[in-house]
């Protein structure tokens, strides 16, 4: 199914003023995050007019249009209006020409207005549309905000992912999504996760059932979306398996073509996995800031070997 955003949703999200547009016009759908500034079109050049984009009018476009004769202005604005045009947006709270209102009402195209500058408005609209129109992929796991770091907890079924997340919530961290996480690329290096609408604020605990985290722990215990920055994979402890004890084995996985660091934590009776994940999140942040305990240990070990060799 093709992703789309309704004009009414954009209006509410960016707090835009509705200058003109009935209920039918506000239900028009936007299918692309690209925005058009119709400067050339105002001169009469329509060879490459992108009629399926939002048409953004800033100070330059409005000023140019005001210099036209009313008849010419109405003719050009009517050509800008097509069945595929989702809407016109005017920045800086500028006065809107009567001919624009007339042309848009004839074609049931909404006109929106914002008080912010054109460049800022362009960025806000593009960012919102790209996020909303991005292709979602569902992955299995629990996404938690741990000290401001998006930690995706994965592992075999029944390993205790939701129980670990519940312990983290009790320790003051925040739930984004349990069991199923919808992820999308915000850009080439950024992966964002969010809960499916049906599972928002909910977590399933075997033996208890489904609980509403927001209702039990308050609004501060949940979050709507979060960048996925670290993957923690929980696996059953195997006695004959060798585990990384120094943290020198850097691992990562690709989710939606974005590379995400991954650590594997063996789970057995007596291990407090929630505390381990907390420390893993803090250690990951410290390493990203240049403080690597593993490298410090290896440097100390190298110096000690050199000193002993010199004696």
What is the pLDDT confidence band of residue 142, given thresholds at 50, 70 and 90? very high
User: What's the mean pLDDT in 140-165?
Assistant: 93
Cα–Cα–Cα angle for 248, 249, 251, nearest 5°?
135
Check whether 197 is labelled as a binding-site residue.
no
245 in active site: yes
Distances (CA, A) of 114 to 35, 93, 99, 106, 307: 15, 5, 19, 23, 69
Which are the contacts of 94, defined by CB distance < 8 A and separation ≥ 6? Answer: 57, 58, 59, 62, 113
Say yes or no: 47 and 159 in one domain: no
Torsion, CA 153, CA 157, CA 162, CA 168, rounded to 10: -40
Q: Within this chain, do residues 281 and 142 fall inside the same structural domain, yes or no?
A: yes
DSSP state of 203: E
Asked whether residue 305 is assigned to any structural domain, the reply reads: no
- Helix ranges restricted to H, the chain: 7-13, 23-26, 39-42, 59-66, 70-80, 98-106, 118-133, 161-170, 213-217, 273-288, 293-310
Domain interval for residue 250: 137-297
Same domain, 63 and 108: yes
Say which of 179, 264, 285, 292 is annotated catalytic.
179
Residues 85-107 have pLDDT tens digits of: 999 999 999 999 999 999 999 99
Could you tell me if residue 150 is inside a domain? yes
What does the alpha-carbon distance between residue 122 and residue 225 come to, in Å, rounded to a whole number? Answer: 23
Burial 74-102 (b: 16+ CB within 10 A, else e): bebbbbbbeeebbbbbbbbebebbebbee
Model confidence at 144, in pLDDT bands (50, 70, 90)?
Answer: very high
pLDDT in tens, 201-248: 999 988 899 999 999 999 999 999 999 999 999 988 877 776 666 555
One domain for residues 204 and 224: yes
Which of 94, 112, 133 lies at the terminal end of a domain, its last residue? 133
- Answer yes or no: is 304 within a domain: no
Residues 56-81: what's their mean pLDDT? 95
Same structural domain for residues 257 and 191? yes
Residues 6+ apart with CB under 8 A from 136: 182, 183, 184
Closest CA to 76 of 91, 67, 65: 65
The answer on pLDDT for 124 being more than 90 is yes
Half-sphere exposure of 22 (CA within 13 A, CB side): 5
pLDDT of residue 215: 94
> Out of 28, 73, 113, 161, which one is annotated catalytic?
161
Does 157 appear as a known binding residue? yes
Report the number of distinct structural domains present in the chain.
2
C-alpha dihedral sign at 115, 120, 125, 127: negative
172 annotated as a binding-site residue = no
Whether 161 is a known active-site residue: answer: yes
Predicted local distance difference test score (pLDDT) of residue 291? 74
> Which domain-ending residue is among 86, 102, 133?
133
Active-site residue, selected from the candidate residues 140, 170, 295, 303: 140
Does residue 302 have a known ligand-binding role? no
Q: How many CB atoms lie within 10 A of CB 288?
A: 13
Q: Walk across the sheet containing 88-90 and list its strands.
A: 17-20, 111-113, 88-90, 54-57, 35-36
CATH number at residue 246: 3.40.50.300
Task: Check pLDDT > 80 for residue 27.
Answer: yes
User: According to the annotation, is 162 in a ligand binding site?
Assistant: yes
Domain boundary residue, one of 133, 166, 185: 133
Residue 21 marked in a binding site? no
pLDDT for position 98? 95
Of residues 106 and 291, which shows the higher confidence score? 106
Residue 91, in any domain of the structure: yes
What pLDDT sits at residue 225?
Answer: 94
Q: State the Cα–Cα distance between residues 228 and 147, nearest whole angstrom.
A: 13
Residue 302 belongs to some domain of the structure: no
Catalytic residue status for 182:
no
pLDDT given at position 139: 94
For residue 297, is pLDDT > 90? Answer: no
Q: In the predicted model, what is the mean pLDDT of residues 187-196?
A: 91
201 carries an active-site annotation: no
Question: Is residue 204 marked as binding?
Answer: yes
Q: Both 172 and 284 in a single domain?
A: yes
- As a whole-number percent, the residues of the chain with pLDDT over 90 amount to 71
The CATH number assigned to the domain holding 71 equals 3.40.1390.20
CA distances from 110 to 16, 92, 126 (A): 12, 17, 18
pLDDT: is 292 or 57 the higher one? 57
| 1 pLDDT higher than 50 | no
Q: Do residues 84 and 170 both lie within one domain?
A: no
Which listed residue (197, 206, 241, 245) is catalytic? Answer: 245
Q: What is the mean pLDDT of residues 11-33?
A: 94
Model pTM?
0.75
């Amino acid at each position: 199914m093709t992703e789309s955003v309704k004009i009414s949703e954009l209006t509410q999200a960016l707090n835009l003023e509705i200058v003109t547009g009935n209920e039918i016009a506000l239900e028009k759908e936007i299918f692309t995050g690209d925005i058009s500034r119709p400067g050339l079109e105002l001169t009469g050049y329509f060879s490459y007019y992108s009629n399926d984009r939002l048409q953004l009018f800033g100070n330059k476009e409005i000023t140019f249009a005001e210099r036209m004769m009313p008849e010419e202005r109405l003719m050009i604005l009517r050509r800008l209006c097509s069945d595929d045009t989702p809407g016109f947006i005017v920045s800086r709270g500028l006065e809107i020409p009567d001919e624009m209102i007339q042309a848009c009402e004839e074609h049931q195209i909404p006109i929106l207005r914002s008080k912010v500058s054109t460049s800022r408005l362009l960025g806000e609209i593009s960012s919102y549309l790209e996020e909303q129109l991005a292709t979602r992929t569902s992955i299995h796991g629990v996404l938690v905000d741990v000290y401001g770091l998006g930690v995706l907890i994965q592992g075999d079924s029944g390993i205790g992912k939701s129980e670990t997340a519940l312990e983290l919530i009790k320790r003051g961290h925040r739930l984004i999504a349990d069991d199923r996480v919808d992820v999308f690329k915000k850009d080439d290096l950024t992966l964002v996760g969010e809960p499916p609408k049906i599972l928002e604020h909910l977590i399933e605990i075997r033996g208890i059932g489904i609980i509403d985290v927001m209702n039990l722990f308050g609004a501060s215990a949940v979050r709507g979306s979060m960048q996925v920055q670290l993957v923690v994979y929980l696996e059953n402890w195997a006695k004959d398996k060798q585990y990384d004890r120094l943290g020198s084995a850097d691992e990562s996985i690709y989710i939606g073509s974005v590379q995400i660091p991954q650590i594997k934590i063996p789970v057995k009776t007596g291990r407090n996995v929630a505390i381990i994940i907390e420390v893993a999140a803090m250690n990951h942040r410290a390493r990203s800031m240049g403080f690597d305990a593993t490298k410090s240990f290896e440097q100390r070990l190298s110096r000690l070997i050199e000193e002993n060799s010199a004696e």
